[in-house]
Amino acid sequence: MRIQPYLFFDGRCEEALDFYKAAAGAKVEMLMRYKENPDRGDGSMEPPGAADKVMHAAFKIGDTMILASDGHCAGKPKFDGFSLAISVKGEAEADKTYTALAKGGEASMPLTKTFFSPKFGMLRDKFGVNWMVMVEA
């Protein structure tokens, strides 16, 4: 049994996947658009204009699979109540990952030494996803 986070980008999923490929070395393992849905029928069940949008995608960052979708495609992704905690091997990798993920976003807590990690920081990326970046202790 395993748990995977599923993120809803509300119309910006493909843009997000491209961003995470560059920022965190993400590899897209699977991507299905609304128009490719085997149960699509006449398309009346999907959001208006969503045919080319992402119904479901799976991407891997390091060893972790994350799922993503455009959901209702309203164009207003909102992420609240959670962060994704990313653990890397060394300080150089933490710096690189933090800087890349924060591009166009907001550095909520710059990378710093804490009692639990040699380097820990928090950011909100350009889509509104909150990340914690840390070096494994």
Site of interaction with another protein (CB under 8 A): 1-8, 10, 24-25, 37-39, 61-64, 66-67, 77-89, 93, 115-116, 128-129, 132
Question: By C-beta, is 89 or 103 nearer to another protein?
Answer: 89
Question: By C-beta, is 10 or 46 nearer to another protein?
Answer: 10
Dihedrals φ, ψ of 45, to 5°? -85, -15
Pair of tokens at residue 118: 């040699």
Min dist. Cβ of residue 87 to another protein (A): 5
Exposure pattern of 119-135 as b/e (b: 16+ CB <10 Å)? bbbbbbbbbbbbbbbbb
Question: By C-beta, is 42 or 63 nearer to another protein?
Answer: 63
Min dist. Cβ of residue 15 to another protein (A): 15
Q: What distance in Å separates the CA atoms of residue 56 and residue 49, rounded to the nearest whole number? A: 16
Min dist. Cβ of residue 85 to another protein (A): 5
3-state class of 24 per DSSP?
A: helix
